[in-house]
Structure 1
Amino acid sequence: MSEQLPDHIRDAFQVGVGPAERLGEAWDHGFRVGNTVFSRVINPEIASWSSKVREGLRPEGVRVVRPIRSTDGRFVVSGWRASVFSTGVISHRVDETVVAALRLADGLIDAPRPELAPLSLFTRADVRAWDDQSGRIGALLHPIDRLDQVGHADMLATTLFSGAQPPVVTDIVPVVRPHGFTAALVMVDGLLLGAADEGILRRFSHLPDIEQLLLRAFLYRRNVQELSGNSDPNVLSNLDRAEATLVSYVSDKL
């Protein structure tokens, strides 16, 4: 990519001269300068919300990347934000990320809810996932009588691991659903990536309402694919495989 880190953004966050190293997906393909990561933001309001929440969030057993404020106290300047760099890589350690997701959800119970754009692809995918459904999955659904709270909609793609150190969450992509939904999304993503098999469903079967949360999490991912128009045969095949696994597992549990 040809995009460069503007000098005025460095100045706004008081980061001087130095080489800018391009980072990967976990850091939104941003730039690292010393111990600071700069990344472009698509939605300034959500980016500011995430930064404000991460600034004071300290969940047990999980590290959270700290935001950096600009010289005038803002989290986002001209479509850029800054965070403190942390070592680690995305390694798809799914079971450990599920545990981290539960701990993160504990820490987010009292977090303020963001203003989610009702017409955004992800909001529409989420709302549709919790509407009445038909087909194989629809026959297995029933209401979940639990309070909603802030969760993280993309934890497996934003969690870094480094040896035996606690996992690091680089960002929070907000979703407002029951406590275990973040963990269910991690499990579904693990199935879709081929990084986990049905065994992970059994290992976390003790979680409250987890079967229903898994079905809703799968519908959310499928809706994102459909609304984005992604017709990649590999993606569609992975969705079919994960759906068959979930329907078989949940049917046996009922």
Structure 2
Amino acid sequence: MADPPPGVLRAFGAPGPARPLPGGQGTSWRAGDLVLKPESGPVHEWLGEVLDGLSGEGFRVAAPVRTGDGAWSHAGWSATRWVEGEPPDYTAEQTWLGIIEAGRAFHRALAHLRRPGFTGTRQDWWARADRVAWQELAVPLRPEFTEVAARLRGLAGPLGPPQVVHCDLSGNVLFAPGLPPAVIDVSPYWRPPAYAEGVVVADALCWHGMPPSLAAAAGVPVAAVARALLFRLATTSERGAPDAEVRDEARRYRLAAEAIGA
């Protein structure tokens, strides 16, 4: 991915040169105390307004930064403040409990927000897959997923009232000694908080070898994990992953579904 142009650095008052950051989708760059990403549009503008000055007990956020003329983006790029913290040890169950607790604290701070309009109009892979998980959209799934999806639907019951939630917490909570967890790269959805927590448990089961007892230890309903697994498998199906990847993920989703009783 190309580094941020000089005009973008000047717009945000960032010193150069920028250096690439590991993790995520490989599109983030650090310049001084700023992190720059190729990101703009209605979702980003909304996040800028919501996260600007947001605080609460039990979490930190990567605060959005305006350009010198007050905009949330410039030439398709955005900026946030650098936050101290490192990715946690994903082999430890306590890590996942900490991620879920950070998400709960963050969601409490968002509970007053009204539904943003884009949550009903987005058409990216993730948004479509989310609607599939909630039976709001019917699309043909890859044949490798049809059986496990049917079993998961049998467990995917109601989860309570919706609000704005971050539905990609698993790799987006950083930890630092003596500081609350830092929530980064917010992916906003209008769903019950338990669903976002279910995504964390589903990811832990599928990709990090966590035991089925994690859901109970975290107080996350089985129905939330079932919907989250539907969300993840529908995303894989929607984005047209290669056959070998689909087969591997189908195996992981099947084992996770069996772990929660589907």
Q: TM-score, normalised by structure 1?
A: 0.86
1:136 corresponds to which of 148, 151, 156: 151
| Aligned ranges 1:1-254 → 2 under 5 Å | 1=1, 3-16=2-15, 18-26=16-24, 29-41=27-39, 43-91=40-88, 92=90, 93-114=95-116, 115-116=118-119, 117-131=121-135, 135-144=150-159, 146-204=160-218, 206-207=219-220, 210-231=221-242, 233=244, 236-250=247-261
User: How far does the alpha carbon of each residue in 1:128-162 deviate from its partner, in whole angstroms, 9 at most, with x for none?
Assistant: 10118962222333334x21101111111221122
CA distance 1:239–1:49, shift in 2 (3 Å):
farther
Identity, % of aligned positions: 26
| Corresponding residue SS for 1:229 | coil
User: How far does the alpha carbon of each residue in 1:212-235 deviate from its partner, in whole angstroms, 9 at most, with x for none?
Assistant: 111111100110000011136356
What letter matches 2:103 in structure 1?
A
Judge conservation of contact 1:20–1:33 (CA < 8 Å) in 2. yes
CA distance 1:85–1:232, shift in 2 (3 Å):
farther
Q: TM-score, normalised by structure 2?
A: 0.84
C-alpha distance in 2, partners of 1:24/1:180? 29
State the Cα distance separating 1:74 from its structure 2 match.
0.9
C-alpha distance in 1, partners of 2:253/2:176? 28
What letter matches 1:160 in structure 2?
L
What letter matches 2:255 in structure 1?
A
User: How far does the alpha carbon of each residue in 1:70-109 deviate from its partner, in whole angstroms, 9 at most, with x for none?
Assistant: 1121111111011111122222322210111111111111
- More deviation in 51-60 or 133-142? 133-142
User: How far does the alpha carbon of each residue in 1:102-132 deviate from its partner, in whole angstroms, 9 at most, with x for none?
Assistant: 1111111112433133422221111110118
Q: Report how many residues are paired.
A: 244
Judge conservation of contact 2:134–2:227 (CA < 8 Å) in 1. yes
C-alpha distance in 1, partners of 2:182/2:209? 19
| Corresponding residue SS for 2:260 | helix
C-alpha distance in 1, partners of 2:255/2:248? 11
What letter matches 1:170 in structure 2?
I
| Corresponding residue SS for 1:61 | coil
CA distance 1:138–1:170, shift in 2 (3 Å):
closer
C-alpha distance in 2, partners of 1:169/1:195? 23
- Any stretches of 5+ residues in structure 2 without a counterpart? 139-148
- Any stretches of 5+ residues in structure 1 without a counterpart? none
Structure 1 counterpart of 2:144: none
Judge conservation of contact 1:50–1:171 (CA < 8 Å) in 2. no
CA distance 1:121–1:50, shift in 2 (3 Å):
same
